[in-house]
A and B are shown apart, each in its own frame.
Chain A
Amino acid sequence: MEAEKTVLRLKINGEIFDLVAPVHKSLLEVLREELGLTGTKHGCELGECGTCTVLVNGRPVLSCLTLPIEVQGQEITTIEGVAHNGRPHPLQTAFTELGAAQCGYCTPGMILTAKALLEQTPHPSREQIQEALSGNLCRCTGYLKIFEAVELAAAQLGRSEGGNA
Chain B
Amino acid sequence: MSTREFSFVGKPGPKVDGLAKCMGLTKYADDLSLPRMAYGKLLRSSEAHARIVALDTSAAEALPGVYAVLTGEALPTQFGIMPVSQDELTLATHKVRYVGDPVAAVAAIDEETAEAACELIKVEYQPLPSVFSIAKALAPVQHAQDRIHEDFGQGGNIHKVVALEFGDTVAGFRQADHIAEDLFFYEGNTHLPMEQHSVLAQYEANGKLTVWSATQTPHYLHRALGVVLDIPMSRMRVIAPPVGGGFGGKDDPFSHELAAAKLAMITGRPVKITLTREEVFYAHRGRHPTLMWIKTGWKRDGTIAAMHCKSYLDGGAHGSYGPASIYYTGALQTSTYQVPAYKFEGVRVFTNKPPCGPKRGHGTPQARYAVEIHLDKVARQLGLNPAELRRRNLIEPHSVTVNWLEITTCGLRECLEKVSKSSGFNEKHGRLPEGQGVGLAVGAYICGAGLPIYWNALPHSEVQLKVDRSGTVTAYSGAIDIGQGSDTVLATIVAEVLGLRPGEIHLVTADTDLTPIDLGSYASRVTMMMGNAALQAARRMRDKLLAPVSRQLGLAAEQLVMKNGRVYDRDNPQQGVSFLETVQLAEAEQGPLTSVGSYTPPPKLGDYKGSGVGPSPAYSYSACVAQVHCDRETGEVRVEKIWLAHDIGQAINETLVIGQVEGGVYMGLGEALMEEYPFRTKLGTHKIPSMLDYKSPTAKDMPPVETILVKEYEERGPFGAKEVGQGPLLVVMPAVANAVYDALGVRIDELPLTAEKVLQALEKQAKGGLGRVGPKELPPFEFPAAIRVEPPEESP
Name A residues whose Cβ lies closer than 8 Å to a Cβ of B. 1, 3, 22, 24, 32-33, 38-46, 48-49, 51, 78-80, 82-83, 88, 91-93, 95-99, 101-108, 111, 129-131, 133-147
Contact = CB atoms under 8 A, between A and B. Distances in A.
Interface in B714-746: none
Contact of A1 (B33, B64, B664): B64
Contacts of A140: 194, 245, 483, 659, 663
A1 B24 contact: no
A38 B31 contact: yes
B19 A92 contact: yes
A80 B21 CA distance: 11
A89 to B, nearest CB: 9
Interface of B: 14-15, 17-28, 30-31, 33, 63-65, 109-110, 112-113, 116, 191-196, 242-247, 276-277, 482-485, 655-656, 658-659, 662-667, 690-692, 696, 698-700, 702, 704-705
A54 to B, nearest CB: 11
Nearest to B668: A142
B659 A141 contact: yes
Contacts of A141: 659, 662-663, 666
Nearest to A91: B22
Contacts of A88: 19, 22-23
Given A42-B30, A139-B247, A139-B696, 13 more contacts: A38-B24, A38-B30, A39-B24, A39-B25, A88-B23, A98-B655, A99-B659, A102-B15, A104-B22, A104-B242, A105-B483, A139-B194, A145-B658
16 contacts: A22-B112, A44-B277, A51-B194, A79-B23, A82-B23, A99-B655, A99-B659, A104-B242, A105-B244, A111-B22, A130-B702, A131-B700, A139-B667, A140-B194, A141-B666, A142-B665
A22 B65 CA distance: 15
Contacts of A145: 658-659, 662
A96 B12 CA distance: 12
A142 B662 contact: yes
A147 B699 contact: yes
A110 to B, nearest CB: 9
Contacts of A105: 28, 193-195, 244-245, 483
Closest 9 CB pairs of A and B: A39-B24, A103-B483, A104-B21, A142-B666, A105-B244, A79-B24, A38-B31, A142-B662, A102-B483
A83 to B, nearest CB: 6
B662 A103 contact: no
Contact of A99 (B112, B656, B664, B667): B656
Contacts of A130: 699-700, 702
A122 B212 CA distance: 42
Nearest to B481: A103
Q: Is the interface of A mostly helix, strand, loop or mixed?
A: loop
A137 B665 contact: no
Contact of A97 (B14, B26, B483): B14
A48 B696 CA distance: 12
Contacts of B23: 39, 79-80, 82-83, 88, 92
A96 B277 contact: no
A139 B19 contact: no
A103 B28 CA distance: 10
A135 to B, nearest CB: 8
B19 A41 contact: no
A144 B65 contact: no
Nearest to A127: B700
A104 B699 contact: no
Contact of B193 (A82, A99, A103): A103
A91 B21 CA distance: 12
A133 B700 CA distance: 8
Given A99-B659, A104-B26, A141-B662, A134 B15 contact: no
Given A80-B24, A103-B245, A144 B702 contact: yes
A36 to B, nearest CB: 8
B277 A102 contact: no
A95 to B, nearest CB: 5
Nearest to B64: A1
A88 B699 CA distance: 25
Nearest to B116: A1
Contacts of A1: 63-65, 109-110, 112-113, 116
A34 to B, nearest CB: 11
